[in-house]
Amino acid sequence: MQQTKNTSQATRRQRMNVEDRREQILDVTRDIVDAEGFYAVTLDRVAGECGITRTVIYQQFGNLSDLLLAMVDREYERAARSFDSAAERAPAKGQSRYGAGVAGMLEAVDASPATWRMLLMPSQGGPPELYNRLEQGRALARAHFAESLEKEGMSSSSRANPDSELAVHMLLAVSEELVHLRLTDPEAYTTERLIAQAEWLFKAMFPG
């Protein structure tokens, strides 16, 4: 039985190409971080769960720090693409562009909760670059909100918020909190409930 298992693992190692193996290693690393935190990640554990040797990880990534950084960068890039898609989402009838964006973000969160937990609720022991990526993401989000408000005439019309700079910071804070609530208790904080609150807050900030 053990011989059969070892043969099966060897066959999987032979059949998986370099790119697929790289993705498998990153997936396993991310899942360990999501379940137990960064301190739980070791090369031996990742290798064991992938059914490979440490040498394969060295060949793909180098040391543990480089592996963690590669995983963080991949998840950040995925999150950034999701944010871009959400930002371009067309509003439904009677929906604001902000509400449409929140709906798109919540869909992305549900599709990959481990990614968003790592970025918005990071555990201790992560690489310094993780926090740099988070700040980069926040800066991009603020720039998007500012541009959207300007494009929609929210900063110059009768609907203008008296302090557009603070309005941008508030939109970011609200957005992060909505995602946080969805990640921590999805049964209580349904997407419908969160989107409805996002719409109410947006209309309260920009009445008319």
Per-residue pLDDT of the chain (208 residues; tens, 9 = 90+): 444 444 444 444 457 899 999 999 999 999 999 999 999 999 999 999 999 999 999 999 999 999 999 999 999 999 999 999 999 999 888 889 899 999 999 999 999 999 999 999 999 999 999 999 999 999 999 999 988 888 766 654 445 566 888 989 999 999 999 999 999 999 999 999 999 999 999 988 887 6
Residues 149 and 54 in one domain: no
181 part of a folded domain: yes
Q: Is residue 124 part of a domain?
A: yes
Number of separate domains in the chain: 2
Would you say 140 and 117 are in contact if contact means Cβ atoms under 8 Å apart? Answer: no
Is 117 in the same domain as 171? yes
Instruction: Assess whether 26 and 128 both reside in one domain.
Output: no
What count of other Cβ atoms lies within 10 Å of the Cβ of residue 176?
14
Residue 186's identity, in one-letter code, is P
Distance (Å, whole) CA 89 – CA 93: 13
User: In this structure, are 58 and 86 located in the same domain?
Assistant: no
d(CA 5, CA 2) in angstroms, rounded, equals 5
- Is 17 part of a structural domain of the chain? yes
Q: Which amino acid is at 98?
A: Y
Beta strands in 35-171 (DSSP E): none
In a domain, 67, yes or no: no
Tell me the residue range of the domain where 41 lies. 2-62
Residues 180 and 198 in one domain: yes
